[in-house]
């Protein structure tokens, strides 16, 4: 898919192995400077009670001892495969490389600083096969220190037979397990339909993939007797993800991510339906990057709407970053007027709510 409004394109993965190996699970593990925690992740794969797996280690241009550790594990277990990318291009394109080098009928994703419980693949695989699902998902828990906090308890839908209306599916079921990829097992032929923006992204890569996976799927189920083990304040953390980029470049990555999500939705559903049905995600993504800090971001929506527009305007007028100005030009060019109207509509709507609440108090 090529869009003349932006200077990058979207591509599907070019599968090196056209014929998948039935019953095999390919675990894609992107790694960037992972020497601190990656042994825990790789050991957790070796310890799986389900043995019919391969692990594709994608070294995303690491500058530490990642390559040596990968070589060690490839020598230890032939099920590990090592792929080296010379340049750091981000998690999304590293996953694309992993997918391209996979053989399995099913795809799992594991971040290099997280771990699988020993029965993770077995239970995910069992549920996948028993229900003839296109993907399955599970809860996840915090491994930061000794405390374990379960997430995703509000998921009520265990068995989802998706209807014929793709837009309805994506609106109703978009938040399968909070729209992450690492707590899912996905059929490779479904994952191979995903369009990847050929540009480096820093955050929210999963949303871009997840939306498309839901779109192309017909059936999914929750695996409620296993949890993915997540190391909070690591690769999934905002502070960690942004620590390698300047504040100005953070804005650039935010705009690129938002534009990518918008174009994917537009490609799937058309411009009119995208503007109508995905306004919340759009506001969420842009606000996430332009509000001053995470604390401000997670406040009540009323304060969010009030702070967003002034902060955005201030950023535009003060920045000297050419890349940031380029990103804003991308958003402001022909074809992207509606999102800005959406922001103003949301702000006006919430101000009206605030006024009504104030009158009631009087």
**Would you state the pLDDT for residue 166?**
80
Compute φ and ψ for 37, nearest 5 degrees.
-120, -10
**Would you state the pLDDT for residue 324?**
55
- Model's pTM, two decimal places? 0.80
**Would you state the pLDDT for residue 243?**
42
* Residue indicated by tokens 């192309």: 216
Task: For domain 10-238, say whether CATH 3.90.550.10 is its number.
Answer: yes
**Would you state the pLDDT for residue 144?**
66
User: How do residues 239-283 score in pLDDT, each as one tens digit?
Assistant: 344 344 555 566 667 667 777 887 888 889 887 787 777 766 665
**Would you state the pLDDT for residue 263?**
82
Regions in the chain scoring below 50 on pLDDT: 2, 153-158, 235-244, 291-292, 294, 296-302, 304-305, 308, 333-334, 337, 339
Burial of 334 (0-12, 13-18, 19+ CB in 10 A): exposed
Tell me how far apart the alpha carbons of residues 247 and 324 are, in angstroms, rounded to a whole number. Answer: 10
- Going from N- to C-terminal start, the domains of the chain cover 10-238, 246-361
How many alpha carbons fall within 13 Å on the CB side of residue 99?
Answer: 25
**Would you state the pLDDT for residue 170?**
77
User: How do residues 158-190 score in pLDDT, each as one tens digit?
Assistant: 456 666 678 877 776 666 556 889 999 999 999
**Would you state the pLDDT for residue 237?**
44
**Would you state the pLDDT for residue 155?**
43
User: How do residues 41-59 score in pLDDT, each as one tens digit?
Assistant: 999 999 999 999 999 999 9
């Amino acid at each position: 898919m090529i869009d003349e409004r932006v200077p990058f394109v979207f591509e599907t993965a070019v599968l090196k192995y056209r014929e998948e190996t039935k019953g095999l699970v390919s675990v894609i593990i992107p790694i960037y400077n992972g020497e601190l925690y990656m042994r825990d992740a790789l050991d957790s794969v070796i310890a799986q009670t389900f043995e019919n797996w391969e692990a594709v280690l994608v070294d995303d241009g690491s500058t530490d001892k990642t390559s040596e550790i990968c070589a060690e594990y490839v020598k230890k277990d032939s099920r590990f495969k090592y792929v080296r990318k010379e340049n750091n291009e981000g998690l999304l394109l590293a996953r694309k490389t992993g997918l391209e080098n996979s053989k399995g009928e099913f795809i799992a994703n594991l971040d290099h600083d997280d771990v699988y419980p020993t029965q993770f693949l077995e239970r995910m695989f069992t549920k996948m096969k028993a229900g003839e699902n296109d993907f399955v998902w599970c809860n996840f828990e915090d491994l930061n220190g000794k405390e374990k906090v379960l997430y995703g308890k509000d998921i009520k839908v265990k068995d989802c037979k998706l209807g014929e209306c793709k837009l309805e599916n994506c609106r109703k079921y978009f938040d399968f397990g909070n729209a992450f990829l690492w707590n899912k097992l996905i059929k490779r032929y479904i994952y191979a339909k995903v369009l990847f923006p050929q540009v480096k992204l820093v955050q929210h890569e999963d949303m871009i993939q997840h939306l498309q996976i839901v779109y192309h799927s017909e059936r999914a189920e929750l695996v409620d007797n296993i949890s993915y083990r997540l190391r909070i304040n690591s690769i999934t953390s905002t502070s960690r993800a942004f620590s390698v980029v300047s504040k100005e470049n953070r804005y650039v990555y935010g705009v690129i991510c938002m534009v990518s999500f918008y174009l994917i939705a537009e490609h799937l559903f058309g411009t009119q339906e995208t503007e109508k049905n995905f306004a919340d995600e759009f506001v969420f993504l842009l606000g996430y990057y332009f509000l001053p800090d995470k604390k401000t971001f997670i406040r009540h929506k009323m304060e969010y709407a009030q702070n967003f527009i002034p902060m955005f305007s201030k950023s535009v007028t003060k920045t000297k970053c050419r890349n940031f100005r380029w990103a804003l030009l991308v958003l402001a060019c022909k074809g992207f007027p509606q999102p800005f109207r959406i922001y103003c509509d949301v702000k006006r709507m919430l101000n009206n709510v605030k006024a009504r609440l104030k009158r009631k108090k009087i």
